[in-house]
Amino acid sequence: MKLLLVNVGRGRYAVAADAVTRIIDPELEPGSPLLPGRTGDDAEAYPVLDLHAASGEMPRGSTVYLVLEAEGRRTAVPVDSAEEICEVPATAIAPLPPFIFASAPRLFRGLFHDPAGPRLLLDERALR
């Protein structure tokens, strides 16, 4: 499956590339109606998943927003950087044990290794 590799703080994540409907750089598109927090007639409201906060880190540096869409719902995910799209065999992705999560929803679907180390695969279906 095609995955977009992203970094958020010290976290290394990936998201299914076909779930990414748009990547917004606020510096390049300050007026995008898709930007979280924007108000106005053309603004769109949808949840933001802050992986910095979820991992207990403080946000840093410039942020790019991924707009993910799954099951008709949109979610914005701020990331520090988007590295590349790569093909990862489905058999290389190990499901995470559900009992490690403190509460629902589980944010991640699985774990795989790339040459630099382990990465978590975000579950865009759980982002609501």
Partner 1 sequence: VSGAPAARRLAFRVGATRAAVPLAVVREVVQDAAIIAVPGSHPHVAGVALHRGLALPVYDLARFPPLWSAEAGRRFAAGGVPRAPLLIVCAWGEAMVGLLGDEVDLLEGEAYELDADAATALSPVFLTGQVKGTAAGAADRIACLDVQKLFPSLGVPDEALRPAREDAGEDDPAGR
Six token digits for residue 62: 């410039």
**Interatomic CA distance for residues 121 and 92, integer angstroms:** 11
Handedness of CA 66, 122, 13, 93 (dihedral sign): negative
Q: Which residues contact 72 (CB under 8 A, 6 or more apart)?
A: none
70 binds partner 1 (CB under 8 A): no
Near partner 1 by CB under 8 A: residue from 6, 20, 51, 66 = 51
CA neighbor of 6 nearest in space, from 93, 113, 119: 119
When the beta carbons of 61 and 89 are compared against partner 1, the nearer one is 89
62 lines the binding site for partner 1 (CB under 8 A): no
Q: Which of 21, 47, 94, 128 binds partner 1 (CB under 8 A)?
A: 94
Query: 4: closest CA among 100, 97, 83?
Result: 83
Give whichever of 61 and 98 is closer to partner 1, judged by the CB atom: 98
The residues facing 56 across adjacent strands are none
Q: Which stretch binds partner 1 (CB under 8 A): 29-37, 59-67, 75-83, 92-100?
A: 92-100
Q: Which of 37, 55, 66, 73 binds partner 1 (CB under 8 A)?
A: 55
12 binds partner 1 (CB under 8 A): yes
- Which residues sit at the interface with partner 1, rule CB under 8 A? 1, 10-12, 51, 54-56, 90-91, 93-103, 106-113, 117-121, 123
